[in-house]
Amino acid sequence: MGWIFEGIDRRDQERKYSDRELIRRSIERVAPFKRPVIISTITMVIVTVTGLLTPLIFANMIDTLQNPHITDLMFLVLLSGGVSYLLLFIFSWVADYIINIQSAKFVPDFMVNLRADIFAALQKQDMKFFDQHRSGRLNSRVSSDASDYGVAISIVMTIAGQFLILILIFIVLAFINLPLALMSALVIPILLIMSYLFRRVARITSMSFRRAHAAVNSAMAESVNGIQVSKSFGVETEILGEFKDINRRHFVAGFRRSCSMGMFFPFVDLLSAIGTVAILAIGGQAAISNLGFITAGILYVFLTYLTRFFFPITQLVNFYSQLQAGFAGYERILQVLDSEPDVKDLGDIEVDQIEGKIEFQNVDFEYVADAPVLRDFSLTIPPGEKLAIVGHTGAGKTSIISLLARFYEFQEGKILVDDLHIRDIKLKSYRKHLGIVLQTPFLFNGTILENITYGRKDASEEDLQRALKISRVNEILEYLKDGLQTQVGEGGCLLSTGQRQLVSFARALLADPRILILDEATSSVDAYTESMIQESLEELMKGRTSIVIAHRLSTVKNADRIIVLDQGKIIEEGTHDGLLAQGGEYATLYNTYFKHQEVAYALGEIPQQAAVSTAPPP
């Protein structure tokens, strides 16, 4: 199956980003949301400072209680200490609420902007990009990768506040007892060195997990989209087996990531425990011996602060896997954001109207290097001409119309429309004059009306009714109880193929293009539907420059000119009768594919001596 192809997830196609660049880009992305970040930071500082007072209050109360004779003054000290602790608790609760509110403002807006940027980056890509990168994997950029990165940013904000707490607590520890504070600080460089060494392992395993996760998404999307094909061949069991293999690789990648994280966490906890025991042993001995080095109350304060001192460090480690997953996801997102399309909006010419003259001048084109599809290709199409293109599969028919629509970028030569190089015309301005109807029409989930007006939402009722009548959509609406408000389903699945095709004709007609491109638009429908569509086609092409890749004889015979392609070159051109008279490649195609579509052939009025060959269709 196609699941083996990984597109952008192949390691040889990945762009690598350094930690410095990821941090810089993250700061730039967070910068527009500095207000909630600043408010949260200031509030966190206030909470930290007030939180540092709590152990001092309890230390004072402990030292007071050590006196065997409690006086009224001492009672007032204890009472005021209890009241102060309660007030500080209430203040901390309010401050935490403010921090949570600011975070609630920041995170959703941040994610909305991030996903919008990813979606916008995908919209600007050309068709080559989507040929190489599968939809399931691209979807994971917008969904899971973006979510992981959003979580990582939230964690970074939390950790930034925790490091601020770390600095303030160390200052307090040094003020209480400098030797013990310095002893406690010995843990930090060891943890930083271990974290740095562990960083690469965590990044590699996180990236591997993200690739495996994207593969699962892609496989699921492909299996749903191709379910009809799978069932028609009865290969559901085989597909399930392939998915189990992909799912197993996803499990292995997740297990490796968890194991790599699991090796680090116990080490951090062990260092914290060793540091705490060492301080307790040294400080406790001094307090018991009444050496004046430290009192019991001060030792309590020190140990309380020491717990808070180690907490940000352990929290950083506990969040490390999420941080690495988030920044691995951001690296994958940047691979999309930084991808530059070959087809770019280079021109600044706006065209309000065109006549429809088309010229290909010595065009070279290849999808992949050293595999030319068109070489020195030239073709002139006068305004209003109906041109049919025929040829065997791979001859270059679809490539011609794809280049005309600027879906791909050609390497050499020029393509002119009304004597203007299409690269000099703004893409949006140029494409609004093109109408494209594909062999398999795609309808967006919504109503028939929404799909017909997709390219021209401001169309008048008169223009809409005209499009419905000419395209014959008004006839199928008679059988649909909801009429134009009928839901078409995902991809138009609730309509028949013929109905979808008629809706796509109406959509193209309402856009009123001067250049109409039909890519085998009637090849997948039955004879009755084709007869309906053919009448719509004739109305659709009237007065427009039309290029038709044809599989149907009716479409070919009605063309003003037919060109026959072979390996990217025009080998014959002329009218239907003229080309038949030549007895060349077109005559061969007619006898092996088109001839049996003639009514006269079915009635026996045309000799049936030429058997249908196994040649591929045009």
Task: Identify whether the C-beta of residue 537 lies closer than 8 Å to the C-beta of residue 505.
Answer: yes
Rounded to whole angstroms, the Cα distance separating 441 from 492 reads 8
* Percent of the chain whose pLDDT exceeds 90: 10
pLDDT of residue 247 exceeding 70, the answer is yes
pLDDT tens by residue, 511-525? 888 898 888 766 655
CA distance 576 to 587: 9
**pLDDT, average across residues 29-37:** 84
Q: How sure is the predictor about 369, in pLDDT bands with cuts at 50, 70 and 90?
A: confident
- pLDDT greater than 70 at residue 617: no
pLDDT value of residue 111: 83
Token pair of 297 as six digits: 């109350």
What would the pLDDT profile of 63-73 be if each residue is shown by its tens digit? 666 565 655 56
8 A C-beta contact, residue 244 and residue 228: no
Closest to 475 (Cα-Cα) out of 521, 536, 518 = 536
Cβ proximity of 69 and 45 under 8 Å: no
| Winning range, highest mean pLDDT, from 90-104, 123-137, 249-263, 419-433 | 419-433
Question: Are the C-beta atoms of 39 and 56 separated by less than 8 Å?
Answer: no
Give the pLDDT band of residue 35 (cuts 50, 70, 90): confident
Contacts of 178 (CB under 8 A, 6+ apart): none
pLDDT of residue 358: 94
Per-residue pLDDT tens over the stretch 251-310: 888 787 777 766 666 776 777 777 777 777 777 777 666 655 566 667 777 777 777 777
Ranked by mean pLDDT, which of 524-533, 534-543, 569-578 comes out on top?
Answer: 569-578
Indicate if the pLDDT at residue 12 is higher than 60.
no
Average pLDDT over the chain, rounded to whole? 77
| 500 burial via Cβ count (<10 Å: 0-12, 13-18, 19+) | buried
Average pLDDT over residues 247-253: 83
Residue 171: the pLDDT is: 82
Supply the pLDDT for residue 144: 75
Considering the chain, tell me which residue range(s) the CATH 3.40.50.300 domain(s) occupy. 384-395+434-602
Distance of CA 397 to the CA centre of its chain: 30
Class of the 9-337 domain?
mainly alpha
Classify domain 384-395+434-602 by CATH number: 3.40.50.300
Q: Find, among 436, 409, 435, the residue nearest to 423 by Cα.
A: 409
Res 2: pLDDT: 37
Instruction: Please determine, for residue 9, whether its predicted confidence score (pLDDT) is greater than 50.
Output: no
More confidently predicted of 606 and 243: 243
Taking residues 327-353, report their average pLDDT: 84
Question: Highest mean pLDDT: which of 160-174, 175-189, 404-418, 592-606?
Answer: 404-418
- pLDDT tens digit sequence for 199-232: 667 767 777 777 787 777 777 766 766 665 665 5
Q: Which residues 6+ apart lie within 8 Å of 201 measured at CB?
A: 260
pTM above 0.85, yes or no: no
Q: What is the pLDDT of residue 610?
A: 43
Q: Are 534 and 553 in contact (CB under 8 A)?
A: no
- Residue 142 DSSP label: I
- The per-residue b/e assignment along 525-538, b for 16 or more CB within 10 angstroms, e otherwise, is beeebbebbeebbe
